[in-house]
Structure 1
């Protein structure tokens, strides 16, 4: 279908060109008789280009064959037009001297040679070759441009599909990881207090509802993400009767500021896992979220134990996961700074919601 549209475009273009030339020639019907066949052969050579030489040679990178075939087609059609079609003039209109009244002017000379010989117009073959070649070259350039445009559109579509696939994969990594950690916490709590176990199941129910339903959307209001974070901390805190040194500060100017779901929680998971917060003494987690009209600031700092504490065999997907999602969802609109010392691990994430 695109090829049919292309041939219609080129026919319309050359009809416009020849119509303009016909108007400037004085709208003489003789002009149509002498040059109409040139237009027809231009259309033929363009059709050969669009339906044969471009798709089967040029686009398949057979450049030498394309060049040879192009020269053969252009020269062959020009020879047919010039020698087989006797009334094709190629825009050469010689005056009819026999119709002029009065005596016929004699030949004039310039430097010993007849002036008519010095000013002899180009041959009909050359003019026809020039016109057909121009049509062929213009059509080739248009086809190359349209092909490049189509390839660019395909690249954009494929890239978007790849990004969506990667996002779905990253989400599928988050949810099982979250559920695994939550169930571990409830299991640990069940051996301590049945009543608090019921509360933890209630928190888990709210969190699962958010993960299974809200997270299917591309963006959610910030307050829902904060509710999820608070429930996560409450669920974790129920593991012990002691108070964990976890502080949270939420300065929310607009609670409906949009954010990608499950973007912040991996940082908290990482802090709870590696800060050795269960030790309580000498440990800490400080969380601060600030939102304004067109941005969100997220700060999280946690203590680091002197020796690495291995909690489970599952892990390693948290921060790397977030970095990939940020690169896809907030390209050039985020700033992630991670500072690590021997005693603390600090994350500072700034999101700009608009370009």
Structure 2
């Protein structure tokens, strides 16, 4: 902010320096009458600057932007008329040798019409006023746009934070349900599951508050979750998981894929039937492709473990984090539930 103000001040000084130097720049080294320069260039330029900065810093905000148009026009008209009068009086009083030739200097010689003379004198003042309006309007629009973007970003961050906090208890609740089912059947496995869950929750609580995390950390988190889920499923369940084995260098928003894996275990596992879950992740040119295929065992309407909060949360987060940079599709084909998620991270 300080640097921007400094640049603005320097640019204004440079512009006025160039304008005040115009008589010498245009004369290309020819001798100049200092009185003529003062009377016809520097005094008018001083008045142009006053018109510009009075409007820029006060009058436009106080009158034009508050819809007091008549007052705005009247104030500027009075100022322009006053400056024209002062300029002409200063020329006639202090620089008498520079007084203009009378409009009628002799037979056959006439000066410019009075109305044209006034118009030509007023034109630079009106130009200064218009420049002030243009500069102030541009600054106001830029500020409004910046404030709008800031408000949008704040809303986005708030919404993402809400979705993030919503995901954590949802994940924890589902994991506790899985542990509960093991307590009576296999206490030892339940203990291992609790220990594994504590590691997962530590990652969720302390390492996912950043906007982006490395994909390798997310992969490690998903592997641990799959290991946790394997403790409670029967031998009839075949789980195939393929993840990138080397560091990809990809940074991604945290916890985008875990809801899909949760969903596969909730809807793709049967206690009595053979079932299969296939999970594949590939990375190419900073584009992450995530595929899941599992048997489709729809939950009963009174079974709240499959409420779908995770998928709804994921869809909303993808819309906010990767607008026009993701593809997400779920389909059911031949009694298999298929998920395709593609994210452009670059």
User: What is the TM-score of this pair, normalised by structure 2?
Assistant: 0.82
Provide Cα deviations, 1:127-175, integer angstroms capped at 9, x if missing partner.
3321211111111111111222222222222222222222211110111
Correspondence for 1:221? 214
Correspondence for 1:110? none
Aligned to 1:246, what secondary structure does the other structure show?
Answer: strand
Correspondence for 2:56? 50
Correspondence for 2:157? 164
1:30 aligns with 2:35: yes
Aligned counterpart in structure 2 of residue 346 of structure 1, from 335, 338, 345: 338
Q: Within 5 Å, which residues of 2 pair with 1:222-261?
A: 222-254=215-247, 256-261=249-254
- Segments of 5+ residues of structure 2 without an aligned counterpart are none
Q: CA deviation at 1:18?
A: 3.7
User: What is the TM-score of this pair, normalised by structure 1?
Assistant: 0.80
Aligned counterpart in structure 1 of residue 287 of structure 2, from 295, 311, 315: 295
Correspondence for 1:41? 47
Structure 2 distance, partners of 1:128, 1:254, is 72
Correspondence for 1:87? 90
- Segments of 5+ residues of structure 1 without an aligned counterpart are 98-105, 108-113
Structure 2 distance, partners of 1:116, 1:7, is 48
Correspondence for 2:127? 134
Aligned to 1:87, what secondary structure does the other structure show?
Answer: helix
Aligned to 1:279, what secondary structure does the other structure show?
Answer: coil
CA contact (8 A) 1:306 1:343 kept: no
Structure 1 distance, partners of 2:9, 2:45, is 13
Question: Against the structure 1 CA distance between its residues 222 and 280, is the aligned structure 2 distance closer, same or farther, given a 3 Å change threshold?
Answer: farther
CA contact (8 A) 2:52 2:129 kept: yes
Structure 1 distance, partners of 2:267, 2:254, is 23
Q: CA deviation at 1:306?
A: 6.2
Q: CA deviation at 1:23?
A: 4.3
Q: CA deviation at 1:319?
A: 1.8
Aligned to 1:217, what secondary structure does the other structure show?
Answer: coil
Q: CA deviation at 1:55?
A: 1.5
Q: CA deviation at 1:308?
A: 4.2
Structure 2 distance, partners of 1:291, 1:23, is 62
Provide Cα deviations, 1:246-266, integer angstroms capped at 9, x if missing partner.
322234453553322211011
Structure 1 distance, partners of 2:79, 2:210, is 61
